[in-house]
Amino acid sequence: MFSLPRAVALLVCAFAIAFPAFAYFGHESHGQAGVLAAAIAAAVCLGAGLVALVFINLFRKPQQAFNGVGMAMLFRMAIPMGVGVVLTKVNGPLAEAGLFGMIVGFYLVGLLVETLLAVRLVNGFKEEQVSKAA
């Protein structure tokens, strides 16, 4: 059975794999501020992704799946975009280092991985119900 802890571990691994590329790009274009922007973008998007997976797991029964997906989408999108807009409006070195662009990049990485994991979580619940009925 596919579980939430396994999904969380896979999401963390995906971000750990993607982070060096973003950090390298940030360092080459903006030095230490670029690396910090990549780290903040990764943390924000990872946090939003974890919240989204929790909602998917809480509402994974077939009759509740729509609610879970809706809540997951809301938090997956609102948290990174809100943080990106606020930190961009502050207009500091992080904004100049491309923080908003890195948030968008990590958001896309997270969206891809989370979608695959959400499908596995919901299907895992279906398999669990079938095995209990048999």
HEC-encoded secondary structure of 61-82: CCCCHHHHHHHHHHHHHHHHHH
Beta-strand ranges (E) seen in the chain are none
Per-residue model confidence as pLDDT tens digits over 105-120 = 999 999 999 999 988 8
Residue partners of 91: CB distance under 8 A and separation at least 6: none
Write out the two tokens for 75: 């938090």
* pTM of this structure: 0.89
Q: Which of 125, 127, 105, 107 is CA-nearest to residue 115?
A: 107
What is the rounded radius of gyration, in angstroms, for the C-alpha atoms of the chain? Answer: 17
In the chain, domain spans: 4-129
Confidence of residue 127 (pLDDT cuts 50, 70, 90): low
Q: How far is CA 59 from the centre of its chain?
A: 18
Chain segment 57-98, per-residue pLDDT in tens: 898 777 888 888 899 999 999 999 999 999 888 878 888 999
Cα(96)–Cα(19) distance, integer angstroms: 19
